[in-house]
Amino acid sequence: MSAPFKSAGAAPSRREFLKVSVAVGGGLLLGFALQRAQTAEQGQSEVAPFAPDAFIRIDRNGVVTLIMCQVEMGQGIYTAMSMILAEELDVDFSRVVVQAAPPNDKLYTNAALGFQVTGGSTSIRVFWMPMRKAGASARAMLVEAAATLWRVDPDGCRTANGEVIHDASGRKFPYGALVDRAARATPPKNPTLKARKDFRLIGTPARRLDSPDKVNGKAIFGIDAMPTGVRFATLKASPVFGGKVAHVEQAGVRDMPGVRQVVVLDDLVAVVGDHMWAAKKGLDALRITWDDGPNADVSSEQMFDEIRAASSRDGVVAKSSGDLSKAASAKRIEATYHVPFLAHAPMEPMNCTVHVRPDACEIWVGNQVITRTQAVAAKVTGLALDKVIVHNHLIGGGFGRRLEVDGIAKAVRIAQKVDGPVKIVWTREEDIQQAMYRPFYYDRFAATLSDGKITGWNHRIVGSSIMARFAPPAFVNGLDPDAVDGAVTFPYDVPNIHIDYVRQEPPGIPTCFWRGVGPTHNIFVIESFVDELAHSAGKDPVQFRRDQLHGAPRLRACLELAVDKVGWGQPLPARVGRGVAVQSVFGSHVATIAEAEVDRDGEVRVRRVVCAVDCGIVVNPDTVAAQIEGGLIFGLTAALHSQITIAKGRVQQSNFHDYRMMRINEAPSIEVHLIHSEEAPGGIGEPGTAASAPSLANALFAATGVRLRQLPIDRDVLAGRKPA
Amino acid sequence: MVNLLVNGQRHSVEASLDTPLLWVLRDLLGLTGTKFGCGIAQCGACTVHVDGDPVRSCLLPIGSIKDRAITTIEAIGDAPQGAKVQKAWLGLEVVQCGYCQSGQIMAAAALLKNTPRPDDADIDAAMAGNICRCGTYVRIRAAIKQAAESL
């Protein structure tokens, strides 16, 4: 998903800015219900007089409201985006107010992906410069306004903490006093940006703006939306993807206390009640017969056989350099790897509150693709786009699941049958069994070694194409840029490389992005296989990598730092091992060393993880560390515990007892070391997830001599009860 | 009608006796700080205090509560342990998405009430029932220790 493609078309007009300004200022879009935001709004005129662009509003009291086009789902983006804007705008960061942006692909497009979307660790990479320019431009307009009033040269004015200051005369204006005049100023074409040495916010650990309301129960997530008169519903869709409702026996259900309505659609059934429990009891009491349809017999075993067979087909070439047939070959090594389907299981289960009226549709939800949310609701209802009002909310975990609008479509279809607003909440079972899944992948490797170095590298990736469905323009000539992301950026100095991709869609199982996207799969298989090659070459895994990273100095510096911090080479107890993995993905360079212990039963304890990170210029260093910590835990959870399996077309896992999560008692100590850099900012939400499985699997090899080529790790294999 | 004492206030609610407290808090009383995560007491997002003890409200029938005092995240800051835990959570920037943190804070506040100086094993025992999908565990552990020291 980090592969850029065509961005959205024409530049937005000033009229559109103002339209959004009215919408935001008018309080129609209070997705982000921070107390401060509410307080500020009460004291604000309906439209802030100074709205120089789609991101900044300043009212006559000097209240600065920043419009957040990227959604907050824990990654700290509200804080980081505000820091960048406040830095260039020169306002008191602790007093800014943030509000969620309304849907508008023109104003808020993510240039890496071509529409308004939060994902792929792109936010800071894409918006770093636009936010700086927006802040600097608004600042210049305020300076111009003050200079005009004072009849002085703008160059003799400076700004600090929300004031324009004229040192020569000792005069100053707070921004609030300048807004009417600044609104008439012309935005500069090339506003002067601050020099790096003058940053006072960027690079310092800032308090997260969203934290205070998240520790006292006041934060409002989509699931907390409570429009007046709302009823509550829960649903059950065909347990086999593509199946239909055959018959519903409803006797007695509508008379149950608190049950209001049974909604039967062609592929799902929902019950509406006075509260979720009434709805759930009603749903459980229905006797539903399903027509399973064409996917009734799909199984994981069948899909594995199919994907393995597909791996013998030639793929679409993703990268080719040198000539594999001429590679010096003292030794040839082959291996195959396999990773499973994964569900996202965000702690906030899927939910969507909808009010369908004859002339409009209003939606309350937390979603990473708000314009797609609006579009799908318009399509389902037949309403014009501007008749669909979407209130975006804080997200209680996205991880890619909320890049999809399948749930929005279901919710709107149910709400069409309901009089008044209805909150539809997925049970955890429905959330896991009616998800879209990280694809099942199969990888085939062949490599040649000579003089302790890789001379030829042949990697075939086989799996579903998410891009072909999610962003068709990015799926060119049968190549999915996400499926090969992290593979084509192979960092080692290897003269002969061939990487290809075979698309193999699982029957009836919808796939979608999952935190770490393409690299989460690719870095696991690549760094595991590189470890195999090091072992085969009889070399230390760190030395083997170090010797072949001359073309990747930033990554090599990360490796050296991690090696130093972990004490690589220092003795460890029996059955404890260290494993290393390196990666350059999402524009960031990371070296990770995990230390893990395996007992005689094959139980694994991850003791410690050390990460060295060069992600370019850092905006909020504490958040960078937090994202690496959380990303590692997310990836370790999957490596240790997670897989979605299919039998008779049905997902076999259903809740946290059989789709297990890492808990605090299993969590390792984590150290994150940042390397100072002047390079452009890289992404940080996903690198940690990609680093987990390979560093862990390599540590387990060091501890036991058992090579794990499949995830999740198999305790029976580690204990020697089952062959690898 | 069922009578409940929530955060010091008496409420009468219209719901059957088997209704889990979670849905009464969220859907009938509008106290949405307590979260739904799994419905089977596996994740701890719905943790509240009943007479000071941490309880999973998703499986607690309202008919079983009687006159015992219920405390939710909205009022835990009024208790000394709750206030210290919230302060430590902010001080160490524990929170990411924040969805599970109501339950984490309720579990941590109960831990500190019974065990003012918890060691790592105490923290594991008290907190292993609370899942955080964002993976804030390292900071949760540190924040509990910081809150304990400040009490």
Secondary structure, 3-state, A525-542: HHHHHHHHHHHHCCCCHH
Nearest-Cα distance to chain A for B119, in Å, is 12
Which chain A positions have a beta carbon within 8 Å of B40's beta carbon? 428, 655-657
pLDDT (0 to 100) of residue A259: 98
What are A464-498's pLDDT values in tens digits?
Answer: 999 999 999 999 999 999 999 999 999 999 999 99
pLDDT (0 to 100) of residue B73: 98
Which chain A positions have a beta carbon within 8 Å of B77's beta carbon? 216
Listed in sequence order, the residues at least 6 apart from A39 whose beta carbon sits closer than 8 Å to its beta carbon are: none
Alpha-carbon radius of gyration of chain B: 15
Q: CA A418 to CA A414: how far, in whole Å?
A: 7
Answer yes or no: is the ipTM higher than 0.85.
yes
Average pLDDT over residues A669-693: 97
Query: pLDDT band for position A9 (50/70/90)?
Result: very low
The continuous run of DSSP H or E covering A331 comes out as: strand A331-339
Return the higher-pLDDT residue of A21 and A508: A508
Q: What angle do CA A682, A667, B137 make, to 5 degrees?
A: 70
Residue A168, Cα to own-chain centre: how many angstroms? 50
Domains, chain B, ordered by start: 2-71 (3.10.20.30), 76-150 (1.10.150.120)
pLDDT (0 to 100) of residue A16: 55
Q: What angle do CA A282, A285, A291 make, to 5 degrees?
A: 110
Tokens in use for A650?
Answer: 């049905």
Q: CA A691 to CA A524: how far, in whole Å?
A: 7
Q: Report the residue of B31, B99, B123 to disrupt the A interface, i.e. the one with the largest count of A CBs within 10 Å.
A: B99
Chain A touched by B119 (CB under 8 Å): no
Q: CA A86 to CA A68: how far, in whole Å?
A: 13
Listed in sequence order, the residues at least 6 apart from A276 whose beta carbon sits closer than 8 Å to its beta carbon are: A232, A234, A425, B23, B26, B27, B36
Listed in sequence order, the residues at least 6 apart from B20 whose beta carbon sits closer than 8 Å to its beta carbon are: A277, B57, B58, B59, B60, B61, B62
Query: pLDDT band for position A94 (50/70/90)?
Result: confident
pLDDT (0 to 100) of residue A32: 33
What are A162-173's pLDDT values in tens digits?
Answer: 999 999 999 999
- The helix/strand/coil state of A173 is strand
Strands B2-6 and A646-647: unpaired
Q: Report the residue of B43, B138, B144, B146 to disrupt the A interface, i.e. the one with the largest count of A CBs within 10 Å.
A: B138
Cβ within 8 Å, pair A397-B102: no
Which residue carries 């025992």 as its tokens?
B125
Cβ within 8 Å, pair A397-B36: no
Q: How far is the first Cα of chain A from the last one, in angstroms, to the nearest whole number?
A: 32
- Residue A26 pLDDT exceeds 60: no
Chain A touched by B19 (CB under 8 Å): yes
Q: Length of chain A, please?
A: 724
Nearest-Cα distance to chain B for A123, in Å, is 16
Cβ within 8 Å, pair B97-A427: no
Chain A touched by B57 (CB under 8 Å): no
Nearest to A626 by CA among B94, B88, B133, B144: B94
Average pLDDT over residues A248-269: 97
Is the torsion defined by CA of B147, A207, A562, A717 positive or negative?
positive
pLDDT (0 to 100) of residue A15: 52
Instruction: List beta partners, residue A578.
Output: A595
Which chain B positions have a beta carbon within 8 Å of A665's beta carbon? 124, 127-128
Of A211, A276, A655, the CB nearest to B95: A211
Around Cβ B8, how many Cβ atoms within 10 Å?
A: 10
pLDDT (0 to 100) of residue A8: 34
Which chain A positions have a beta carbon within 8 Å of B39's beta carbon? 427-428, 655
Q: Report the residue of B40, B62, B87, B133 to disrupt the A interface, i.e. the one with the largest count of A CBs within 10 Å.
A: B133
Chain A touched by B37 (CB under 8 Å): yes
Which chain B positions have a beta carbon within 8 Å of A394's beta carbon? 97-98
pLDDT (0 to 100) of residue A5: 38
Query: What percent of chain A lies above the pLDDT cut of 70?
Result: 94
What are A266-297's pLDDT values in tens digits?
Answer: 999 999 999 999 999 999 999 999 999 999 99
Instruction: Answer for the pair A603, B108: CB distance below 8 angstroms, yes or no.
Output: no
Q: CA A122 to CA A313: how far, in whole Å?
A: 33
Instruction: Answer for the pair A236, A268: CB distance below 8 angstroms, yes or no.
Output: yes
Nearest to A273 by CA among A315, A224, A233, A330: A233
Return the higher-pLDDT residue of A12 and A159: A159
Q: What angle do CA A79, A687, A597 make, to 5 degrees?
A: 120
Q: How far is the first Cα of chain B from the last one, in angstroms, to the nearest whole number?
A: 40
Cβ within 8 Å, pair A664-B90: no
Q: Report the residue of A214, A281, A422, A606 to disrupt the B interface, i.e. the one with the largest count of B CBs within 10 Å.
A: A214
CA-nearest residue to B91 within chain A is A207
Query: What type of residue sits at position A121?
Result: S
Q: Report the residue of A280, A347, A515, A653 to disrupt the B interface, i.e. the one with the largest count of B CBs within 10 Å.
A: A347
Domains, chain A, ordered by start: 14-213 (3.30.365.10), 222-293+350-425 (3.30.365.10), 302-340+437-718 (3.30.365.10)
Query: pLDDT band for position A95 (50/70/90)?
Result: confident
Average pLDDT value over all residues in chain A: 93
- Residue A36 pLDDT exceeds 70: no
- Residue A7 pLDDT exceeds 90: no
- Residue A28 pLDDT exceeds 50: no
What are B58-111's pLDDT values in tens digits?
Answer: 999 999 999 999 999 999 999 999 999 999 999 999 999 999 999 999 999 999
Nearest-Cα distance to chain A for B32, in Å, is 6
- Residue A45 pLDDT exceeds 50: no
Question: Which 8-state DSSP code applies to residue A295?
Answer: G
Instruction: Answer for the pair A703, A151: CB distance below 8 angstroms, yes or no.
Output: no
- Residue A137 pLDDT exceeds 50: yes
Nearest to A589 by CA among A607, A569, A619, A612: A612
Query: pLDDT band for position A48 (50/70/90)?
Result: confident
Looking at chain B, the number of H-run helices and the number of E-run strands are 5, 5
Interface of B with A in 68-107 (CB under 8 A): 72-74, 77, 86, 89-90, 93, 95-102, 105
Q: Residue A471 phi/psi, 5° resolution? A: -150, 75
Q: CA B42 to CA B151: how far, in whole Å?
A: 30
Q: CA A332 to CA A328: how far, in whole Å?
A: 10
Instruction: List beta partners, residue A355.
Output: A362
Query: What percent of chain A lies above the pLDDT cut of 90?
Result: 92
- Residue A219 pLDDT exceeds 70: yes
What are A551-588's pLDDT values in tens digits?
Answer: 999 999 999 999 999 999 999 999 999 999 999 999 99
* Surface-to-core class of residue A68, CB atoms within 10 Å of its CB (0-12 exposed, 13-18 middle, 19+ buried): buried
Which chain B positions have a beta carbon within 8 Å of A217's beta carbon? 31-34, 72-74, 102
Query: pLDDT band for position A549 (50/70/90)?
Result: very high
What are A605-633's pLDDT values in tens digits?
Answer: 999 999 999 999 999 999 999 999 999 99
Is the torsion defined by CA of A168, A169, A173, A179 positive or negative?
negative
Least confident of A94-98, A444-448, A546-550, B108-112: A94-98
Around Cβ A657, how many Cβ atoms within 10 Å?
A: 11
Of B27, B99, B134, the CB nearest to A221: B99
